[in-house]
Amino acid sequence: MYLNGSCLVSNCLIAGNQAEHGGGGITMASASALVTHCVIRNNRDTYYTGGGGVYMSGGEVRNCLITYNRVTLDGAAQGGGGVRQTGGTLASCTVVSNQIQAANKGGGVWWVAGNVTNTIIYWNVRGVVADNLLASAPTTIGYSCAPELTNGIGNVVLDPDFIDMPGGNYHLAPGSSCMDTGTNMSWMAGAVDLDGNKRVITARPDMGAYEFWPSTVLVVR
Protein backbone atom coordinates (compact mmCIF):
# COMPACT_ATOMS: atom_id res chain seq x y z
CA MET A 1 0.00 0.00 0.00
CA TYR A 2 1.14 3.53 -0.81
CA LEU A 3 -0.85 6.15 1.13
CA ASN A 4 -0.46 9.67 -0.24
CA GLY A 5 -3.59 11.55 0.74
CA SER A 6 -6.42 11.65 3.25
CA CYS A 7 -7.23 7.98 3.67
CA LEU A 8 -8.09 5.29 6.20
CA VAL A 9 -6.90 1.68 6.26
CA SER A 10 -8.66 -0.30 8.98
CA ASN A 11 -9.05 -3.94 10.10
CA CYS A 12 -6.75 -5.36 7.44
CA LEU A 13 -4.14 -8.11 7.24
CA ILE A 14 -1.22 -6.76 5.21
CA ALA A 15 1.11 -9.70 4.62
CA GLY A 16 3.54 -11.29 2.20
CA ASN A 17 4.47 -8.17 0.24
CA GLN A 18 7.84 -6.93 -1.01
CA ALA A 19 9.31 -3.56 -2.02
CA GLU A 20 12.74 -2.48 -3.20
CA HIS A 21 12.70 1.05 -1.80
CA GLY A 22 11.02 0.92 1.60
CA GLY A 23 7.62 0.12 2.98
CA GLY A 24 7.40 -3.58 2.26
CA GLY A 25 3.83 -3.52 3.57
CA ILE A 26 2.86 0.17 3.69
CA THR A 27 4.39 3.52 2.78
CA MET A 28 2.85 6.42 4.70
CA ALA A 29 3.51 9.59 2.72
CA SER A 30 0.65 11.78 3.95
CA ALA A 31 0.03 13.60 7.22
CA SER A 32 -3.68 12.75 6.94
CA ALA A 33 -3.34 8.99 6.46
CA LEU A 34 -4.42 6.63 9.25
CA VAL A 35 -3.72 2.91 9.52
CA THR A 36 -5.53 1.34 12.46
CA HIS A 37 -6.41 -2.12 13.82
CA CYS A 38 -4.26 -3.93 11.27
CA VAL A 39 -1.79 -6.82 11.39
CA ILE A 40 1.28 -6.04 9.28
CA ARG A 41 3.46 -9.14 8.99
CA ASN A 42 5.85 -11.09 6.77
CA ASN A 43 6.62 -8.17 4.47
CA ARG A 44 10.10 -7.16 3.38
CA ASP A 45 12.21 -4.41 1.90
CA THR A 46 14.90 -5.90 -0.30
CA TYR A 47 17.09 -2.95 -1.15
CA TYR A 48 18.11 0.46 0.14
CA THR A 49 15.54 2.46 2.01
CA GLY A 50 14.41 0.32 4.95
CA GLY A 51 11.04 -0.19 6.60
CA GLY A 52 10.33 -3.87 6.11
CA GLY A 53 6.77 -3.47 7.38
CA VAL A 54 6.09 0.27 7.37
CA TYR A 55 7.91 3.28 5.94
CA MET A 56 6.37 6.41 7.43
CA SER A 57 7.09 10.08 6.89
CA GLY A 58 3.65 11.22 8.05
CA GLY A 59 0.24 10.04 9.17
CA GLU A 60 -0.47 7.66 12.04
CA VAL A 61 -0.25 3.93 12.63
CA ARG A 62 -2.45 3.02 15.59
CA ASN A 63 -3.51 -0.19 17.41
CA CYS A 64 -1.50 -2.39 15.03
CA LEU A 65 0.65 -5.50 15.36
CA ILE A 66 3.83 -5.21 13.26
CA THR A 67 5.68 -8.52 13.22
CA TYR A 68 7.96 -10.81 11.19
CA ASN A 69 8.89 -8.09 8.70
CA ARG A 70 12.43 -7.87 7.30
CA VAL A 71 14.99 -5.68 5.57
CA THR A 72 17.14 -8.19 3.72
CA LEU A 73 19.92 -6.09 2.13
CA ASP A 74 23.04 -6.43 4.26
CA GLY A 75 24.35 -3.01 3.21
CA ALA A 76 21.09 -1.06 3.51
CA ALA A 77 21.83 2.60 4.19
CA GLN A 78 18.67 3.07 6.21
CA GLY A 79 16.91 0.70 8.52
CA GLY A 80 13.90 -0.44 10.47
CA GLY A 81 13.13 -4.11 10.11
CA GLY A 82 9.60 -3.33 11.30
CA VAL A 83 9.25 0.45 10.87
CA ARG A 84 11.32 3.24 9.38
CA GLN A 85 9.99 6.50 10.84
CA THR A 86 10.94 9.98 9.68
CA GLY A 87 7.66 11.59 10.76
CA GLY A 88 4.10 10.83 11.79
CA THR A 89 2.89 8.96 14.86
CA LEU A 90 3.22 5.36 16.00
CA ALA A 91 0.65 4.84 18.76
CA SER A 92 -0.47 1.83 20.79
CA CYS A 93 1.33 -0.64 18.54
CA THR A 94 3.30 -3.81 19.18
CA VAL A 95 6.48 -4.06 17.08
CA VAL A 96 7.98 -7.48 17.69
CA SER A 97 9.98 -10.26 15.98
CA ASN A 98 11.17 -8.12 13.06
CA GLN A 99 14.64 -8.39 11.54
CA ILE A 100 17.25 -6.41 9.63
CA GLN A 101 20.53 -7.60 8.17
CA ALA A 102 22.40 -4.27 8.05
CA ALA A 103 24.54 -3.25 11.03
CA ASN A 104 23.35 -0.50 13.38
CA LYS A 105 20.04 0.11 11.66
CA GLY A 106 17.32 -0.94 14.13
CA GLY A 107 15.80 -4.39 13.91
CA GLY A 108 12.45 -3.10 15.14
CA VAL A 109 12.28 0.66 14.51
CA TRP A 110 14.73 3.03 12.85
CA TRP A 111 13.59 6.40 14.22
CA VAL A 112 14.60 9.79 12.85
CA ALA A 113 11.59 11.99 13.68
CA GLY A 114 7.95 11.78 14.69
CA ASN A 115 6.06 10.59 17.76
CA VAL A 116 6.02 7.17 19.38
CA THR A 117 3.55 6.66 22.23
CA ASN A 118 2.17 3.65 24.14
CA THR A 119 4.14 1.32 21.87
CA ILE A 120 6.08 -1.88 22.61
CA ILE A 121 9.26 -2.43 20.57
CA TYR A 122 10.81 -5.67 21.76
CA TRP A 123 12.37 -8.98 20.66
CA ASN A 124 13.55 -7.64 17.30
CA VAL A 125 16.96 -8.52 15.86
CA ARG A 126 19.83 -7.39 13.66
CA GLY A 127 20.96 -10.63 12.10
CA VAL A 128 20.61 -12.80 15.18
CA VAL A 129 21.56 -10.10 17.72
CA ALA A 130 18.95 -8.25 19.77
CA ASP A 131 18.42 -4.82 18.21
CA ASN A 132 15.09 -3.09 18.77
CA LEU A 133 15.34 0.67 18.35
CA LEU A 134 17.89 2.94 16.72
CA ALA A 135 16.94 6.52 17.52
CA SER A 136 18.84 9.79 17.35
CA ALA A 137 17.78 12.15 20.17
CA PRO A 138 14.33 10.52 20.60
CA THR A 139 12.65 13.44 22.36
CA THR A 140 9.15 12.48 21.20
CA ILE A 141 9.21 8.82 22.27
CA GLY A 142 7.26 8.44 25.49
CA TYR A 143 5.23 5.94 27.49
CA SER A 144 6.72 3.13 25.43
CA CYS A 145 8.70 -0.05 26.05
CA ALA A 146 12.06 -0.96 24.51
CA PRO A 147 15.42 -1.96 26.03
CA GLU A 148 17.00 1.17 24.52
CA LEU A 149 14.52 3.63 26.09
CA THR A 150 16.55 4.50 29.18
CA ASN A 151 15.42 8.15 28.96
CA GLY A 152 12.13 9.88 28.22
CA ILE A 153 8.82 10.37 29.98
CA GLY A 154 7.03 7.20 31.05
CA ASN A 155 9.28 4.77 29.18
CA VAL A 156 10.09 1.29 30.50
CA VAL A 157 12.90 -1.10 29.56
CA LEU A 158 11.70 -4.32 31.19
CA ASP A 159 10.53 -7.34 29.20
CA PRO A 160 6.85 -6.72 28.37
CA ASP A 161 6.16 -10.36 29.28
CA PHE A 162 3.97 -11.61 26.45
CA ILE A 163 1.78 -14.63 27.11
CA ASP A 164 3.53 -16.74 24.44
CA MET A 165 6.11 -14.81 22.45
CA PRO A 166 7.56 -17.87 20.59
CA GLY A 167 4.03 -18.92 19.69
CA GLY A 168 3.07 -15.47 18.41
CA ASN A 169 0.71 -14.53 21.25
CA TYR A 170 1.66 -10.94 22.05
CA HIS A 171 -1.02 -10.27 24.64
CA LEU A 172 0.33 -9.12 27.99
CA ALA A 173 0.65 -11.65 30.80
CA PRO A 174 -0.56 -10.73 34.30
CA GLY A 175 1.92 -8.45 36.04
CA SER A 176 3.49 -7.12 32.82
CA SER A 177 5.46 -3.89 33.16
CA CYS A 178 3.39 -2.53 30.26
CA MET A 179 0.05 -2.79 32.08
CA ASP A 180 -1.55 0.52 33.11
CA THR A 181 1.63 2.43 32.18
CA GLY A 182 0.55 4.14 28.98
CA THR A 183 -0.84 7.63 28.65
CA ASN A 184 -4.38 8.63 27.67
CA MET A 185 -4.86 10.11 24.22
CA SER A 186 -7.82 12.01 22.81
CA TRP A 187 -8.84 9.26 20.37
CA MET A 188 -9.17 6.67 23.14
CA ALA A 189 -12.61 7.77 24.34
CA GLY A 190 -14.86 4.86 23.37
CA ALA A 191 -12.07 3.23 21.36
CA VAL A 192 -11.18 -0.47 21.22
CA ASP A 193 -7.88 -2.34 20.96
CA LEU A 194 -6.77 -4.71 18.19
CA ASP A 195 -9.01 -7.46 19.61
CA GLY A 196 -12.03 -5.15 19.70
CA ASN A 197 -11.98 -4.88 23.48
CA LYS A 198 -12.25 -1.61 25.36
CA ARG A 199 -9.04 0.37 24.89
CA VAL A 200 -8.85 1.77 28.43
CA ILE A 201 -10.11 -0.36 31.32
CA THR A 202 -8.51 1.35 34.30
CA ALA A 203 -7.38 4.97 34.65
CA ARG A 204 -4.55 4.45 32.14
CA PRO A 205 -4.18 2.34 28.99
CA ASP A 206 -1.74 -0.51 28.56
CA MET A 207 1.17 -0.21 26.15
CA GLY A 208 0.94 -2.15 22.91
CA ALA A 209 -1.84 -3.19 20.58
CA TYR A 210 -3.74 -5.26 23.15
CA GLU A 211 -5.33 -4.20 26.41
CA PHE A 212 -4.99 -6.72 29.22
CA TRP A 213 -8.29 -8.30 30.22
CA PRO A 214 -8.18 -10.34 33.43
CA SER A 215 -9.90 -13.70 33.52
CA THR A 216 -13.15 -13.54 35.46
CA VAL A 217 -15.59 -16.14 36.66
CA LEU A 218 -19.23 -15.19 37.10
CA VAL A 219 -21.32 -17.45 39.33
CA VAL A 220 -25.09 -17.01 39.18
CA ARG A 221 -27.14 -18.60 41.95
Q: What ranges do the domains of the chain cover? A: 2-188
Q: Is 170 helix (H, G, I), strand (E, B) or coil?
A: strand
What is the value of pTM for the model shown? 0.94
Distances from the Cα of 136 to the Cα of 22, 113, 214, 219, angstroms: 20, 8, 37, 53
Q: Using the predicted structure, report yes or no on whether residue 190 has a pLDDT greater than 90.
A: yes
Q: Let me know the angle formed at the C-alpha of 190 by 187 and 196, rounded to the nearest 5 degrees.
A: 100
Residue 105's pLDDT band, with cuts at 50, 70 and 90, is: confident
Give residue 48's pLDDT.
67
Confidence class for position 42, pLDDT limits 50, 70, 90: very high
**In this structure, how many other beta carbons lie within 10 angstroms of the beta carbon of residue 181?**
18
Q: How confident is the model at residue 216 (pLDDT cuts 50, 70, 90)?
A: very low
Distance CA 60, CA 56 (A): 8
pLDDT score recorded for residue 218: 41
pLDDT band at 101 (very low <50, low <70, confident <90, very high): confident
Quote the pLDDT of residue 219: 42
Q: pLDDT value at position 200? A: 95
